Structure 1
Amino acid sequence: MKVLRIFHGGGVPAYQRRDEELAALGHDVHLLVPKVFRELPTATVALRRNDSIKVTPIGLYGLRRNPFFFYNPFRIAASMLKFRADVIDIHEEPYSLAAMSILIGRSLARSRARVIFRSSQNEYKRYPFPFSAFQSYVFRVSAEAYVPSAQAAEVLRQKNFRRPITVVGNGVAVPKEPRVDSSPADILEVVCVGRLIERKGVQDLVAAVAKCQRHVNLTLVGTGPLESGLRARVAELPSLAGRITFTGAVSIDEAAAIMRRSDVICVPSHELEGWSEQFSRALVEGMANYCVPLVSDSGALPEISGGITEPFRWGNVEDLRLRLDELALSDELKELQNSAHERAVQQYSWEATSLRISEIYERVVQGS
């Protein structure tokens, strides 16, 4: 089956693993990506992992923030006329200029390819014209949608999308080798990966570690505006001496290596008006690397972590401290780590998630 995928983040080689897996399942995949996509904290220049898929960098216009960027519809149409896809997979939000520009290109090419789209939005929002009109049109022409969480599926239902919706989590690489314990049995090694900003709750995690009654070490992977303040806070507290490490920004492979040395991955995100955690790729990557998930109750985090541990109330330092001390004392830590890894294999590996998307392709073409 010929599949044309358009994805603003598709220039990241690690994310092209999705397309490689789809090709391995027998699909002829053509991926359109921006030549350059700027997303904090860096800009991504389109690259291609290998020759199993075709990757074409194209121009991206407008503001580099959803929903205000878009593709050239004539360039999209030219690609559609040349490739003649059976399925067009729009990896853009349905209310966005990007999604609408792709469908304008489809109309210009007079393509009869079946359309599906992906949406991550897990908070219901009303959009003004013309974005509301874009969304209505995308809903009308799309045969199915896929989302990373049941929360996001419910939002699409609230918006009156009445066609099938499949939950497909973000894919991650899952190591096949077993975990090798490296930390002393009486020390709980915790890792937190992401931007050091207030809504991510890292300040709560530092405060909780400072209050822990057991020996808990913390590694903070990432940078952000809170870093200098957090470093100063750690330096002020003798109880935290040698227990909190700041790595700064690291590569995907370096982050995975840190996770492999850790016992727990913590995602202490807050909720804001109109915002809560949609997924957290770092959480799933940690689970894939045998980290026990410890998450707040922000957005989809409890769903993604699968109930392996009880979520704590976001913004509640004492609740988080209790969960950390409980894990530090737990005799079942290894079993929890294995459960986390198995959930990542079954739900979030590139192989499992790509198979679900492949099944969507088969359904929509058979139903045409």
Structure 2
Amino acid sequence: MKTPRQLVTISHSYVVTLNRRLANEMARVGAGRWDVKAVAPRSFQGDLSPLKLQREPGEPSQVEAVRALFSRSAHAFLYGPELRTLLTNRVSLVHSWEEPYVLAGAEVALLTPRRVPLVFSTAQNLPKRYPPPFAQLEPWVVSRSAGWVAFGETVKQNLLARPGYAGRPARAIPMGVDVELFQPDRAMGAAFLRELGWEQEGPPVVGYLGRFVTEKGVELLRNALERLQTPWRALFVGGGPMEASLRAWGERQGGRVRVVTGVPHARVPQALNAMDVLCAPSQTIPRWKEQFGRMLAEGFACGVPVLGSDSGEIPHTMGDAGRVLPEADVAAWTAALAELLESPEKRRELSARGRERATTRFAWSAVAREHLDFFESVLG
């Protein structure tokens, strides 16, 4: 029997157990072929408060804690010197889930022995120019790597135009979704509606999940809803600077709009199951376009029919499982909503397509297999 290969995967996001799902799934689906070691900070300064390394009993991957220095900046933090030992002891491949232009990404590349292949993951979906020293770090890390993973097809196409990237093996792999947590459950959705003062019987519910900001298309969705002749209700779940104006608009809609904030991730499946249609009307702006769109994969997994704009990665995430619409065309959005709201049969068809896409493309087990398959192709 062949000795399993040794994979070291590194990410500051691994400080949170949920973010180690990729590492744990690679250990699970690669059992017998790969031993997986996940390197995480002992602590890291999060957006709201310091985060301490979380551990769960029975994790398939071996979790190794190292120091993180200067972690108030995701661009400028560094791992402690103990990382060097973890990268030099019988390692077959190093996977760095740190962008190649940040200091930690360069540190991982520097400490990985030349004989050990390095693969990094990146989410850069826009052409950008970085200031020194980050502009100098990126091409060096790319030249040191044996390959790279793009979190989406638009990320891959964007980076292939940058110096050095086209000369390395690359693969576009989506982010994953927990298809056991996110699954169709209309009873759970009906309970969520009752909490809002609605019954399941009534006009179909048009849903939105995400930040309440202009670039996410909140204004376009409001305009499309106002044009509808078909009866509707609307559920906006999220938060952001447009909350006040969204609530004010909702109060003028005669009780058919609910705006819900502060929903923890564990309750998102309930909110999605309360929706009959999920809308992702993202709008491209000069410094942003939609990336993977996690709410799309989660909506698919819950069997919710999805309408999405043609901004950024959305068409690639959607495939043929949802409807892709022009991002600025209010009339097209109004027509598509009317068609779905008036046809339970079409909603059922999209629901089945979405669930199948979630389980075959976005399930963490499928995402982990794609990573290991790519690593094996790099090793030859």
So what's the TM-score if we normalise by structure 1? 0.88
2:26 matches 1:13: no
Query: Which residue among 279, 283, 306 is the counterpart of 1:293?
Result: 306
**2:123 alignment partner AA:** S
Q: 1:246 to 1:151 in 2, by over 3 A?
A: same
Distance apart, 1:5 and its partner CA: 1.0
Q: For the Cα contact (< 8 Å) 1:23–1:29, is it kept in 2?
A: yes
Distance apart, 1:304 and its partner CA: 0.6
2:99 matches 1:93: yes
Q: For the Cα contact (< 8 Å) 1:186–1:328, is it kept in 2?
A: no
What pairs up with 1:92-131 in 2 under 5 angstroms?
92-106=98-112, 110=113, 112-131=115-134
Residue 213 of structure 2 is matched in structure 1 by: 197
Distance apart, 1:39 and its partner CA: 5.3
Query: Which residue among 269, 278, 299 is the counterpart of 1:265?
Result: 278
2:166 matches 1:150: no
Q: Indicate the percent of aligned positions where both proteins have the same amino acid.
A: 27
2:64 matches 1:56: yes
**1:202 alignment partner AA:** V
Q: For the Cα contact (< 8 Å) 2:45–2:71, is it kept in 1?
A: no
**1:55 alignment partner AA:** V
**1:3 alignment partner AA:** L
User: Secondary structure of 2:77's match?
Assistant: strand
Flag structure 1 segments of 5+ consecutive residues without an equivalent.
none
Name the CA distance, whole Å, in 1 between partners of 2:105 and 2:341: 47
Distance apart, 1:63 and its partner CA: 6.7
**2:121 alignment partner AA:** R
Q: For the Cα contact (< 8 Å) 1:209–1:217, is it kept in 2?
A: no
Q: For the Cα contact (< 8 Å) 1:73–1:104, is it kept in 2?
A: no
2:353 matches 1:339: yes
Q: For the Cα contact (< 8 Å) 2:321–2:357, is it kept in 1?
A: no
2:257 matches 1:253: no
Query: Which residue among 250, 259, 264 is the counterpart of 1:234?
Result: 250
Query: Which residue among 330, 336, 340 is the counterpart of 1:323?
Result: 336
Distance apart, 1:36 and its partner CA: 4.3
Query: Which residue among 117, 138, 146 is the counterpart of 2:141?
Result: 138
Q: 1:151 to 1:22 in 2, by over 3 A?
A: same
Q: 1:50 to 1:214 in 2, by over 3 A?
A: farther
Flag structure 2 segments of 5+ consecutive residues without an equivalent.
191-199
User: Secondary structure of 1:311's match?
Assistant: strand
Residue 171 of structure 1 is matched in structure 2 by: 176
Name the CA distance, whole Å, in 1 between partners of 2:51 and 2:332: 38
Name the CA distance, whole Å, in 2 between partners of 1:198 and 1:177: 27
Length, aligned pairs only: 358
Distance apart, 1:73 and its partner CA: 5.5
User: Secondary structure of 2:239's match?
Assistant: coil
**2:374 alignment partner AA:** I
Name the CA distance, whole Å, in 2 between partners of 1:21 and 1:59: 24
**2:102 alignment partner AA:** S
Q: For the Cα contact (< 8 Å) 1:263–1:290, is it kept in 2?
A: no
2:365 matches 1:351: yes
Name the CA distance, whole Å, in 1 between partners of 2:230 and 2:320: 23
Greater shift after overlay, 35-44 or 209-218?
35-44
Greater shift after overlay, 92-101 or 40-49?
40-49
Distance apart, 1:347 and its partner CA: 1.0
Q: 1:38 to 1:299 in 2, by over 3 A?
A: farther
Name the CA distance, whole Å, in 1 between partners of 2:271 and 2:98: 31
Q: For the Cα contact (< 8 Å) 2:235–2:258, is it kept in 1?
A: yes
Q: For the Cα contact (< 8 Å) 1:189–1:264, is it kept in 2?
A: yes
Q: 1:338 to 1:169 in 2, by over 3 A?
A: same
Name the CA distance, whole Å, in 2 between partners of 1:191 and 1:142: 42
Q: 1:111 to 1:157 in 2, by over 3 A?
A: closer
Q: 1:191 to 1:210 in 2, by over 3 A?
A: same
Name the CA distance, whole Å, in 2 between partners of 1:277 and 1:65: 23
Residue 197 of structure 2 is matched in structure 1 by: none
